[in-house]
C-alpha cells in the first residue's frame, strides 16, 4: 500500500491506536519513506502491515479455510487481516484527514469519506471468499455500518 500526504510519525501514531485494539500484535512488514520530488511537498510511504504472532488477534487466514475445510485445517497467515487495515485507515484519517491511501485491492484512492471498509473478493470464481471472512479476529462486531461488499475481482488486468 502507498500512503500519500502523511508523515512517518502520523503512521506510527495510527499503528499505536490499532495495537491498543489488537493486543500489540500489529507491526510493519514494510515501511519505506520516499522523499518528495522538488516540485511537490507530498511525502509517500509504502507500507504493509503484519502480525507479530499469528495465534493472536489480527492475523489473516488463508482463503482455503473458507472452501469447506474444517477449522483444524485452516492456515493462519502473518499478514494483517482486513479488519486491522480498516481500523488502521480510520485511525490515520482521524490523525490526518488529508491522507490518501492506494491499495492493490482498491480501484480508487481510499480517502476519509470513501473506500475504507470496502469488502472485496479474495477467493476465486470457483471458491469466492470475501476479505472480511478470511480471519477470526472477532472484529465484525465492531464494524461500522458503512461496509460495502463487492463480489467482483478487484485486481487490475495488466496489458
Tell me the per-residue pLDDT of 49-84, one tens digit each, with 9 for 90 and over.
999 998 899 988 877 645 555 544 668 888 999 899
Q: How far, in Å, are 18, 106, 118 from residue 47 at the CA level?
A: 15, 15, 19
How many domains does the structure of the chain reveal?
A: 1
In a domain? residue 158: no
Q: Is 77 among the domain residues?
A: yes
Does 153 have pLDDT greater than 60?
Answer: no
Taking the model in full, what pTM does it have? Answer: 0.80
Euclidean distance between CA atoms 137 and 52, whole angstroms: 14
Give the pairing type, strands 148-150 and 118-120. Answer: parallel
The whole-angstrom separation of Cα 127 and Cα 58 is: 23
Domain residues for the domain of 132 are 2-150
Amino acid at each position: 500500500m502507498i500512503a500519500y500526504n502523511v508523515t512517518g510519525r502520523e503512521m506510527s501514531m495510527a499503528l499505536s491506536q490499532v495495537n491498543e485494539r489488537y493486543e500489540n500484535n500489529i507491526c510493519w512488514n514494510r515501511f519505506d519513506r520516499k522523499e518528495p520530488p522538488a516540485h511537490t511537498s507530498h511525502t509517500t510511504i509504502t507500507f504493509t502491515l503484519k502480525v507479530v504472532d499469528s495465534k493472536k488477534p489480527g492475523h489473516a487466514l488463508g482463503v482455503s479455510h473458507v472452501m469447506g475445510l474444517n477449522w483444524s485445517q485452516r492456515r493462519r497467515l502473518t499478514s494483517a487481516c482486513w479488519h486491522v487495515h480498516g481500523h488502521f485507515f480510520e485511525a490515520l484519517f482521524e490523525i490526518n484527514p488529508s491522507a490518501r491511501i492506494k491499495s492493490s485491492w482498491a480501484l480508487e484512492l481510499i480517502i476519509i469519506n470513501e473506500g475504507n471498509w470496502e469488502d472485496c473478493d479474495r477467493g476465486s470464481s470457483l471458491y469466492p471468499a470475501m476479505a472480511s471472512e478470511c480471519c477470526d479476529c472477532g472484529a465484525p462486531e465492531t464494524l461500522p455500518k458503512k461496509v460495502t461488499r463487492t463480489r467482483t475481482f478487484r485486481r487490475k488486468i495488466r496489458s
